[in-house]
Each structure stands twice: as C-alpha cells, then as structure tokens.
Amino acid sequence: MSWWMFLALVHAAEPTPEAAGEAPSDTEAAASAAPEGPSGPDRSGPPEVPPPEVLVLAEPELHAIGATQVHVVPVPGVRKVEVRVRPGIGQITLMGAPGLEGRAVGWLADAATADHDAAELSGLEDLHNLDVYSSMSLHHGTLGVEVPLEDLDVGLELLSEMVRTAAFPKAETRRWVTNQRRHYTLTGPSSLSSVAGSAVSYGWFPSDHPYGARPDLAVLDGIDGEGLAATYGRWLQEAPLEVLVVGDVSYADVAPALEAMLQGLGTDGVPEPELPVEIPGGLRVVAVDMPGQEQVGLRLRLSAPPQDDADEVAMWAGNHVFGGHFLSRLNTNLREDKGWTYGARSSYQRGAHYGMVTVDVDVAVANAAAAIAEIEAEVGRLVEQGVTEPELGLAYRSLVQSWNTTRGTASDAIDRYSDALDRREALADARARRVALAEVRGEAVAAAAANWFHDEAPRLWVVVGDREALAPQLEPLGWPIEWITPEDAILGRF
Amino acid sequence: MLLPALAADPFHVDATVETLDNGLVVIVAEDDRTDTVALHLTYGVGARDERAGEFGAAHLFEHLMFEGSANVPTNMFDEWLTAAGGSNNAYTSEDVTAYHMSFPSGALDLALFLESDRMGFLDAGLDETNVANQQSVVLQERAESYAEPNGRDWDALGAISFPSDHPYHHSVIGTIADVEGFEVDAVRDFWRRHYRPDNAVLALVGAVDTEVALERVRHWFGDVPRPEAPLQRATEPLPTPIRGQRGVIEDDVEERTLWLTWPAVPRHHPDEAPLDLLANVLSNGRGTRLDDALYYESELASSVAMFDPFSERAGLTMVVVSSESTPLKKLEKKVVKAIERIPKHPPTEAELDRARRSVRGQLLDGLERPEDVAEHLADCYRQLGEADCVGEQWARYEAVTVDDVVRVARKYLIDKEPNRLSNVPRGDDGALAGSTPVELP
C-alpha cells in the first residue's frame, strides 16, 4: 500500500472523540456547530488531493566545443536565460590548499573586465537587468550570467569578457581585503549566527584536512590584483570546463558566442573528485562565550551517510521529518509545543565522501539546557522509533513538489541541473531518488539513524552565549567543554 | 493564454477580477509553466490598526491563524497542506497582514477550504493554550531578532521618525507587555473587527483555469458571512511628521552605524517615483554618487545605502551608513553634501536612465514567479482598485525627468533636518551629540 493511500485511510479511520469515549474539545464542538447548510460547502474534512507524480525532466542536450561539453536545457516560457561556465577544479587543486587567495579569485572575477571597469560593469547590469557572477569553491567554480532573453547578446558578451579578461582592479582587490579583515576581526565575532556557524564548521572538520583549513589573515597582506589575475588565467587553462545553458533558447542561439568565449581555454579531463575525510568519533563540545548575550545559539552536528550510500534516501526522508520543515519534530516540539524558539531546523548535507546532519536552534538562555535535552531526546526517538508513515508522506510530497517546480524560472532550473552535474548523474537518476522516497519505511529511517548517530560516531555540540549564565546550565550535563572566544570561533583557532 | 514573459507589454498580467457578494475580491491569472498554484490572501489590517494596549496584535494574530479553525483542528492547517505538497507562510506589516501558499494544482480545493475556514470560522479554534503558546513564540522571535547586531535599529527608527500618536510609531512586533497581556477575548475581538471578507483580497496565479478557479472560490468562500457592521479603518489626518530627533542604541557591535530619516510621501504618491529614482542615483552600487563617495572611492564607510520605505499612509527617505573609525558626524556631513549637490549637479540622463532601468528590472523580476505575481495583483488591487498595475507603476517612473528629481530633493531633503539614529558599541561615546537612548519596551 502506498503511503498516500495509507494517509487517506488514517484520516478516514480516525474515530470521533465521542466514539472513543472522550469529551469533545471546544474546537471540535465548534466544528460540529459550524455552518454546513445544503447550499454551503462540505467542511467535514479536507478535500481529497490526488497523489503527486514526479515530473520527468528532460536530459540536457549535449554539444561539444573543443574539450568542453555544453549542456543545453530548453525551458520554454521563462523570461531569463542563465549560462554557467563550470571549471572542474577549485582551490585545492589550483592553489595546493584552500585559502583566502582562492576565495579572492572567485569573488573578484566578476568585478571588472579589460573592456569595462567596475562602475561600467555595475551600470550595465542595471541597464540590462542582468547579473554576472563568479565563485571558486574547494573543488570547482562558477562563472555565470543571468540575463533577460532579449538581452542575451549583451549577457553573453559580458560573460565572455569575464571569462577571458577578468581584470582584478587594485581598488576592488584592496576593498575585498579590507572587508575580509573586517569580517574576521570585527563584524563576524559580534554576530551570534556567524560565530555559531564558524564554530560548527571548524569544530567538525580537522584543521589538517583541506575541508577544515583555517583562514590565515597574513595571506591578505600578499594579495594583489596581478597575482589574482595570473591565478585566474591559469585556472581557466588548467581546468576541464563544462557549460550549462538554461532558458527559452536553443544551442544555435548561443553556440557562436560560446565558441568564441571558450577558444583556447580548458583542458581534457573530468572534474576533480571530493576528498575522503575522517571525522574523529565521539562527543565534542565547543562553547563560545559572548558576554551579555541574552540568546543562546545551539548547534548539533551528527555524522550522516554520503551521497549514494545505501542509507542516503532513508536519511534524507528522516531528516525531513526530524527538522526539515515547519511540521518537523524539532519545530513542533521546541516552537509549537513549548514556545522556546522562533524556529528549529535541521539540514542534511552530503558529498561523495561525507555527510552530516546539522541542527540549528536559538533559545533564551533560561531554556538552553532543557532545549539541549529535548534535541537529544528527538535524536534518540529517531534512532529507537524511526518515523511514522504519515510523517514520511509529508516528507515525500514536500520533496516531490520542490522537484516539480524546477521549470518555473531559469534560475530554478539551472540549480537543479547543476546539482545533477555536481553528482555526475543523469536527471533520470535524480528523479529516481525522489521516486524512491515513496518506498522508504520507518524502520529504514531508524536503521539509518542507528547506523550514523550512535555514541561512537562523531557528534559535535556548539553552544554560543554568555558563559556566566550558561555555565550553571551546562555543568550538570558533565560534558567535556572547550570554552573559546568569538574571535577564536570565527578564525577556527581551537 | 498569454504568459507574462511573452506578452507584448512585459508588465501586463492577464487577470480576471470578481467581487463576491460578501465583499471578497478575487483575482485569477493563469500561468501553466509548472503544475503549481500560488495563493495570496491579503487582509487590510496591520500594526497601524492597533489601539493603545494592543501593540503587536496584528502580528500575534498572524501566528494564531495557523492554530486551527472551526473545521481544521489545531496543527492540521499545516499538516493537511504539507501532505498535499503545499507550503505556506505569512507576514505582517504596518499596513497589511498577508497569507501566501504554493501548492500543486490538484490541491486547489484543499487550499481554498483551509483559507475560507479560517476567514469565516476562526474564533472557534482560538483557545488559551494556543494564544499562550504563540505569545511565547512571538516574544522569542523578537528576542532572536534583537540579539543580532543592529537587530533593534528598524524598530527604533519608527519610534524616532514618527510622533508617538502616529500609527507607524510603534513596531510591528509590538511591546512585550502588550504581547504578554493578550487574552482570548481580546484576540477574538481583533479577529471580528478585521478578518472579514470585505477587508480581503484573494489572488490565485498559476496552473488554474480561470472559470473553474472562480467557481471553486465562490463555492468555498460564498458562505463566509459579511458582518453587518460597516468596515472601519482609520483614515483621519495623520499627525505632523517630526524632524530633528536624535536617538541612540547601544549594541553588541564593533562598528558605528548612522541612520538618517526624512519624512517623505506615502506609496503611490506622485512624488514616489522621483524620490525612488533619486535614491537610486545616489546609492545603487558602483558608479552611484553616495556609494562611490563613501565606500568605493574613499573607504570612509564600510557600507552605505539609501532607500525609501514607502508605506500606505506615510513614507520616509532613509540613508544608513556604517564605519569602524569614521566619526558619525563626518559621515552625516558627507551624506548631506551629496544630497545638497543635486540642484547644482543634477543627475545626468545616463544616471537617470540607469536608475530607471534598474527599477524596470526589479519590476519585471517581480513578475517571474506565480507567488510574486499573486502578491503584486493583490497589492495593486487593494491600493489602487485595479489588479494589473505594474505597467502603470513603470509608466510613472518612465515619465520622471531630471527636473522632477531635483524638485523632490529640494522639497523633501535639502535644508530639511533629518531624524538621526546612532547605533554604537556598548560604552562607546561615538553617537551624535544630543542623542538620547531609544527604549523599545
């Protein structure tokens, strides 16, 4: 029996309170008194909704320009076109290690070109309602443009300028360096959410692994536009390139511009793989002292299956039930039932070699210890009891609906197709994973949670708040707490 | 069917409007790019409608609308909609409270059932437990927001920019005492006063057939009663705007921030477009005057922005500028100087064209997603009495001349004393002289 049939039967089979021997509540009494005359609608229960179908998304059309594969996804009716050039190596391969210089290359490539200084480029973006953007992550990068169809020529021209002649002007580079210093020394340490986010990231990934590399502010002294430009040029020479085109266009509409843009760039090869990473097992607790802070940021990170692991789909569904939407267990418990937080959520991130579930809750300091206990209890409940069929039904429909809106805008569509390229999978496989969600059962979720959330598995708690107020609450937990400063959290100095 | 993106007039949305017998205005527009429908239901009630002692009521009430109604038990609103693949949220402003949903087309009846039930029969679902719970959630929402750097600034700006008897003086989130003090009877009274079909506009945009959608709306909302008492919303003249207030917030920040506010015009006033374009000429990224003077070319400031939060009954023009080291007095002088230069150095046609086209792009971006189109349609109708108003909005921007921009700079900003809010690190003496602490009870 499918879960939506199960849901329908659950609703149909629920006894009325009277039949179960219970007094009706005020709400139920009022419901029975609500107007339902012969001319009015039947309000006795929710109208039926047909089960969802998982939209079939076409595979991209494949073309080749030299060594570069061009993936074209026609999406009729959308106003904008989005084109992304995707270098298949990033900071780790290009620079030897991740760091601020690599981030600067990605951040500043879209600032100016040989033909247009920063002010002109910014003005052109306003004039044509387009956005030229760039980034370099650890393993790859993105150089892209989003542009209305009627200005496609302008958009492609500016993208080509960025790809071939990004200028890295002195003034923009100096400003970026200043802003980085400000973030790491001033604004970052004063923001509870930034402090908590950094503490989780650096507390999880070991400092001797590229994923846990700490920012070295001394590097900022040596960053200059010429050096960045040289690195950028090398990046586009040495990286295997892919291009993704999404919008109400055909390959013929973009081919001449792409051919000119890509001439002499890129190399044979495939995008670099992610790295294996070993997270030390057991509990780690990092507490960040922010004197005077009345709120407490609570973050819990747990190990989880990587993509394509046998437990991935069960964990995906389980996380959705656990903290992935408004009706999740965490939000229902901590917000709707107890009123302790404005929102409690969890996210499930995974790559080729790692996976992690991260809980994110802010509460008043008086509720910190109790909230920690509730979150741990919800983790335990997931392990011991799994999830129910109705809960799985909610997760399935939500995740299917987000897939089914893929073709609403070029931006939605390109994100979906980029995800597929990141995983090196066909859209049919991505769709199959959604379809497989319907087959997940509660026991599978419990088994996956047990496999990954056990006591010897990596488990990181981050608590951010006023130490004086927090310490008495944390002491009874008997945790091995590392107290650090907000500055240490932002810079990963622990 | 004509998709917005393909229409000859890119701003045109082919929408059908109908008013039900009970006064509910319904707007439907078709867009079948995905099997999704967006529903946007706006009620003409916001913080400005709150009486003394009930500050925060409109926003608290927004939370309570999800707690169940006569035929939708507690927590089932979200559960039934989510089980159908839908999602929803809501927001409250000074002027309105809006509820928005997105769902697969097969869930149209469910969505209309849920919305009509809480419009017509919510009071049966209000109880002490639900009210108490959402009071806690709202107070925590306020606490979380205030805990972030500059998290209290926006509410403090209302307090110093509008006199105490002005409907925009108090914050949308409300006071702690008022939020804590609400009782079920007061909440019911608030609902009866404001949540009525003749005070609402419902927009449906997406994978619907217009005739079918209208028929289903009539079916579900037709029995929602229209109260006999006439709808009352305050329209009395507003108190005179205030100028020259100086407030200060001490915060857990490392930089100082200065806000300047000038009384301006309400939304849809003839001077709205030239004021907005003036703000765009002065501050809209690299190559605009204020941004270049304070950030890109001098690095006197770590950030700067100018914008116009126009509301339905009043509006402000605002500048916000931050710096770790530049004194706020110096930053203010720079800002004022850039504004005062406007008559002698009016915007060039190129500057004005860039500002205009930037607005045009934003308007068109706002017509891409069914959710945004539904919001536009509902807002347009509520404020102007016609659903398809974005093109008219653009026409007003298109008609603005350099002289218009200079005129509004003189009329609203030049030689007009602003209100000033300093946000400084705790214990720092860098606030503008004469500033007094702004209390947010």
Would you say residue A168 has pLDDT above 90? Answer: yes
The answer to whether the CB atoms of A129 and B364 lie below 8 A apart is: yes
The answer to whether the CB atoms of B254 and A325 lie below 8 A apart is: no
Burial class (CB in 10 A: 0-12, 13-18, 19+), A475: exposed
Q: Does A38 touch chain B (CB under 8 A)?
A: no
CB A452 within 8 A of CB A302: yes
The C-alpha of A256 sits at a distance from chain B's nearest C-alpha, in angstroms, of 25
HEC string for chain B = CCCHHHCCCCCCCCEEEEECCCCCEEEEEECCCCCEEEEEEEECCCHHHCCCCCCCHHHHHHHHCCCCECCECCCHHHHHHHHCCCEEEEEECCCCEEEEEEEEHHHHHHHHHHHHHHHHCCHHHCCHHHHHHHHHHHHHHHHHHHHCCCCCHHHHHHHHHCCCCCCCCCCCCCCHHHHHHCCHHHHHHHHHHHCCHHHEEEEEEECCCHHHHHHHHHHHHCCCCCCCCCCCCCCCCCCCCCCCCEEEEEECCCCEEEEEEEECCCCCCCCHHHHHHHHHHHCCCCCCHHHHHHHHCCCCCCEEEEECCECCCCEEEEEEEEECCCCHHHHHHHHHHHHHCCCCCCCCHHHHHHHHHHHHHHHHHCCCCHHHHHHHHHHHHHHHCCCCCHHHHHHHHHCCCHHHHHHHHHHHHCCCCCEEEEEEECCCCCCCCCCEECCCC
What pLDDT does B24 receive?
98
Nearest CB to A30 within list B70, B219, B357: B70
Average pLDDT score over residue span A74-87: 96
Nearest CB to A79 within list B123, B133, B368: B368
Nearest CB to A178 within list B110, B117, B299: B299
For residue B234, what pLDDT band results from cuts at 50, 70 and 90? confident
HEC string for B297-339 = CCCCCCEEEEECCECCCCEEEEEEEEECCCCHHHHHHHHHHHH
What pLDDT does A341 receive?
95
Tokens of residue B15, six digits: 């929408």
* Model pLDDT for residues B36-78, shown as the tens digit of each residue: 999 999 999 999 999 999 999 999 999 999 999 999 998 899 9
For residue A39, what pLDDT band results from cuts at 50, 70 and 90? low
* Model pLDDT for residues A303-362, shown as the tens digit of each residue: 999 999 999 999 999 999 999 999 999 999 999 999 999 999 999 999 999 999 999 999
The answer to whether the CB atoms of B286 and A122 lie below 8 A apart is: yes
Average pLDDT, chain A: 91
What pLDDT does A12 receive?
34
Average pLDDT score over residue span A353-372: 97
Closest residue in chain A to residue B89, using alpha carbons only? A326
Beta bridge partners of A246: A73, A82
Q: What ipTM describes this predicted complex?
A: 0.90
Contacts of A326 in chain B (CB under 8 A): 78, 82
Q: Does A15 touch chain B (CB under 8 A)?
A: no
Would you say residue A54 has pLDDT above 90? Answer: yes
| Residues ≥6 apart with Cβ < 8 Å to B350 | none
Q: Does B273 touch chain A (CB under 8 A)?
A: no
Query: Which helix (DSSP H) or strand (DSSP E) does residue A133 occupy?
Result: strand A131-136
Nearest CB to B85 within list A45, A175, A401: A401
CB A371 within 8 A of CB A298: yes
Best mutation target, B1, B122, B140, to test chain A (most A CBs within 10 A): B140
**Whole-model pTM?**
0.90
The answer to whether the CB atoms of B137 and A339 lie below 8 A apart is: yes
The answer to whether the CB atoms of A292 and B78 lie below 8 A apart is: no
CB A328 within 8 A of CB A318: no
The answer to whether the CB atoms of B127 and A26 lie below 8 A apart is: yes
CB A344 within 8 A of CB A372: no
Least confident of A33-47, B143-157, B404-418: A33-47
For residue B124, what pLDDT band results from cuts at 50, 70 and 90? confident
* Model pLDDT for residues A227-259, shown as the tens digit of each residue: 999 999 999 999 999 999 999 999 999 999 999
